[in-house]
Amino acid sequence: MLVGYVSDERYVSVPDVPMEFEDADGNSIEAHSRATGAVYAQVTPGTEYRVTLACPGYGFKSIYMIPIEGNPYHFRLLTDCLLGYMWPKWVKGGEKSEFRVHAVEQYKLELWRYGWNKEFIKTVGWYDEHGPRATMQITPDGDYTRTGVQWNKQGFTNPHHFQYLEAPERTGLYYLHAKGESGNFFSFPWIVAPKEPQAQIAVLASNINWNAYNNFGGRSNYIHPDEFPPKPTVNARYDLKRYTDPKHRNYDAEDYAPLSFDRPEPINFIPEDDQATDPIEGRAGCHIAPAEWRFLGWMEREGNAYDLYAETQLHSGILNLDAYRILIITTHPEYWSKHMYYTLKSWVFERGGRLMYLGGNGLNCEVEFLDEYTMKVKNGSPQSLDRPGDDIESRFHIYNESEANLLGVAFTGTGIMTSAPYRVIDADHWVFSGCGVKLGDIFGEACLHMRVPGGASGHETDKVTVSSPKNVELVAKGTNIDDGGAEIVVHEPGNGGMVFSVGSITYPSSILVDDVVSRITANVIKRFLSN
């Protein structure tokens, strides 16, 4: 019978895996996975077996399972490599997180803080175990994008083996550096919020967005967002709808399976030698933590004190907006909860908060939290954005108001995957004070964003919509093709509240290398703090 399938951490089939099925009487059955990962064996349905899988290049494992006719089991193997994450991934200064590292060799672990410079904090230690390959982690079987990988659960029964690290008192974006004795290197982030508010400015790390894009385990909000498919991938170009169906959308279901934060985030990896002023290479890093680091580097270069929080700490209430004058969200804060949105809006509109939105495609989709570490994305049905007469501007707008009501802009598809400089529209506006620009001048030509190079307006861009506040002031617009340029706007909702929005993912990647982008941002901070 078909017992199940064997796949790796990306849900790609693993062929020719030797397997042994042992029952309680000591009987043994041998099997091998086929090209598709399928496992056929002469087992008895309803009988419990101890199943051992052993394949070079992957961690060997043994599990107990009961074969069920017509319900294939999903065996998961983990590639021999170096990976890690902190758990929890976000804490306050003085709190502890567990470092969960997957290694098949002895490794050294260091703690660094990423600001204007990479600052070495301390060596955490060297790690190995007495048993062979005992630092190797084991993943659960099945769809652990829902449940988390739960590393360190197996084999860490002795309290002396628990691997905890106390967060520094100083807030910021920290990275753990893991380096094997062979030279293999992996880095992973740790968001440390202040124990108590220290600055007038709070900055949000977009960790909900990081999780939405994280495909570790074989699912994200972009690969199989609705459910775990019945068979592993053999060839993506043949097996995935995004490549085989010309009418396919990422979101073609009514409901979407949860995504756990309890997973490594290889997309947030930063090479060991990278500095804040280096170009951001690769596909993923340009819109998540590596790009957000560039903005934090600018804040510190310019002498702007800030407290860093995870988006999830705004949702949970750990971040008290009333303790701050300014909140800054950057790069790609695409996924927000309803609670986060209306908490922020009331702070700005009713209590005089000042919001700086230095990103693109922001607040575009609602997420709900099933628990502290599990989220569910509310993408809506495939027809949700196409209902005639509804004028739905985003996935967030399907269930709530348009985010343009707060931000002044919302994402549109024009200009997507292009980048270009901005053009000045209102040279007399205070945002351009000291910039030396006039009407029609170009700025934001320099940019570290290498996925879509070309300027500070790009990758994904937002514009003024019918939902934007009536008093919104348009001061600059990107020169992207097809009128797809991001629009820089300012509006004042009353009660002292202020909003500044740039509508571009690439904007933070320009701030360290473009003088006008830098000066504009400094002007806004100065005005928002002083008025």
Taking a C-beta distance cutoff of 8 angstroms, is the pair 302, 522 a contact? Answer: yes
Taking a C-beta distance cutoff of 8 angstroms, is the pair 494, 345 a contact? Answer: no
Please report the pLDDT score of residue 247 as a whole number.
78
Positions of the chain with pLDDT lower than 70, given as ranges? 157, 159, 386-390
Please report the pLDDT score of residue 383 as a whole number.
73
Per CATH, domain 325-530 is 3.40.50? yes
Fold of 2-76: Immunoglobulin-like (2.60.40)
Distances (CA, A) of 245 to 220, 224, 238, 249: 19, 14, 10, 9
Please report the pLDDT score of residue 246 as a whole number.
84
Helix intervals (H) in 245-389: 289-301, 311-316, 338-351
Pairwise CA distance, residues 48 & 65, whole Å: 6
Pairwise CA distance, residues 345 & 341, whole Å: 6
Please report the pLDDT score of residue 531 as a whole number.
78
Identify which of 359, 361, 332, 357 has the alpha carbon closest to the alpha carbon of residue 345.
357
CATH 2.60.40.1120 range(s) for the chain read 2-76
Please report the pLDDT score of residue 389 as a whole number.
56
The label of the residue with tokens 């294939």 reads 72
Pairwise CA distance, residues 17 & 55, whole Å: 5
Query: How confident is the model over 203-214, as pLDDT tens digits?
Result: 999 999 999 999
Please report the pLDDT score of residue 386 as a whole number.
66
Rounding to the nearest 10 degrees, give the CA dihedral for residues 300, 316, 359, 451.
90
Identify which of 281, 453, 459, 273 has the alpha carbon closest to the alpha carbon of residue 362.
459
What's the residue count for the chain?
Answer: 531
CATH 3.40.50 range(s) for the chain read 325-530
Q: Do the strands 90-92 and 185-193 form a parallel or antiparallel pair, or are they unpaired?
A: parallel
H helix or E strand, kind and range, residue 252 = none
Query: How confident is the model over 62-109, as pLDDT tens digits?
Result: 999 999 999 999 999 999 999 999 999 999 999 999 999 999 999 999
Taking a C-beta distance cutoff of 8 angstroms, is the pair 451, 286 a contact? Answer: yes
The label of the residue with tokens 């990275």 reads 175
Q: In what order do the strands lie in the sheet with 2-7?
A: 38-40, 2-7, 73-76
Q: Do the strands 18-22 and 107-114 form a parallel or antiparallel pair, or are they unpaired?
A: unpaired
Distances (CA, A) of 417 to 211, 224, 497: 21, 22, 33
Q: In what order do the strands lie in the sheet with 172-180?
A: 90-92, 185-193, 172-180, 107-114, 118-127
Return the beta strands (E) in 57-152 as ranges.
Answer: 61-65, 73-76, 83-87, 90-92, 96-102, 107-114, 118-127
- This model's pTM is above 0.85: yes
Q: Half-sphere exposure of 454 toward its Cβ, with a 13 Å CA cutoff?
A: 20
> In the 8-state DSSP scheme, what is residue 525?
H
Task: Give the type of residue at 51.
Answer: V
The label of the residue with tokens 């934007």 reads 468
